[in-house]
Amino acid sequence: VITVDTTITRFLRVRSTPLPNGTPLNDVVEGGCFGGVVVRNGGRLRSVSGKQVVVTGGWTNGATVEAAGSLVAFTGNGTSLISGSTTFETLACAAAGKTISFQAGSTQTIAGTLALSGAPGAPLTLQSSDPGEVWNLTVADDAEIAVAYVAVSNSVAAASAGIAAVNSIDNGGNV
């Protein structure tokens, strides 16, 4: 079952569904800007190539997200918490001064494109939800990577080609 809250701060909630292939990310929610996305209780969010979701708040994956060919973009001010492990086709954020906290111990996998950037004097901060613990980032061998003006802490990043973070800051605890 998919629920779209149509108040000013909309939330996309996906829970157990009778649909055999999961809840599709269709034109009703595609392109929408959500205050948060929650997939839980056996829910399955399935998107297809070319679809996108813009999130200003948190992302919680407590079930299954299939994001082949789609874009998840974080925007807005403040902090976004990404909870649970997710495979993103494209993960993007170009919000100067924003913070993205990743649940400690979680693994975010990038299958296609990683595009993260802040600005001079206002980096995009990437950190663990628990400063003493690490979060994990795995990037596919053939992924496109564009990372600049980020401040990163407590991460374990794995990419065979490496991740060149231009004009960025190592805030410690990175492996």
- How many alpha carbons fall within 13 Å on the CB side of residue 152? 22
36-63 residue pLDDT tens: 888 776 776 766 667 778 888 998 887 7
Q: What is the pTM of this model?
A: 0.85
Give me the phi and psi of 45, to 5 degrees please.
-100, 120
Task: Provide the token pair at 120.
Answer: 């001079």
Read off the amino acid at residue 48. V
77-125 residue pLDDT tens: 999 999 999 989 999 999 999 999 999 999 999 999 999 999 999 999 9
118-149 residue pLDDT tens: 999 999 999 999 999 999 999 999 999 999 99
Model pLDDT, residue 5: 39
Model pLDDT, residue 38: 81
Q: Element (H or E) spanning 118, and its range?
A: none
- Residue 78 — left, alpha, or beta (φ > 0 → left; ψ -120 to 50 → alpha)? left
Model pLDDT, residue 61: 83
β-sheet bridge partners, residue 81: 101
* Average pLDDT of the chain to the nearest whole number: 83
Local structure of 108: helix, strand or coil: strand
Local structure of 60: helix, strand or coil: strand
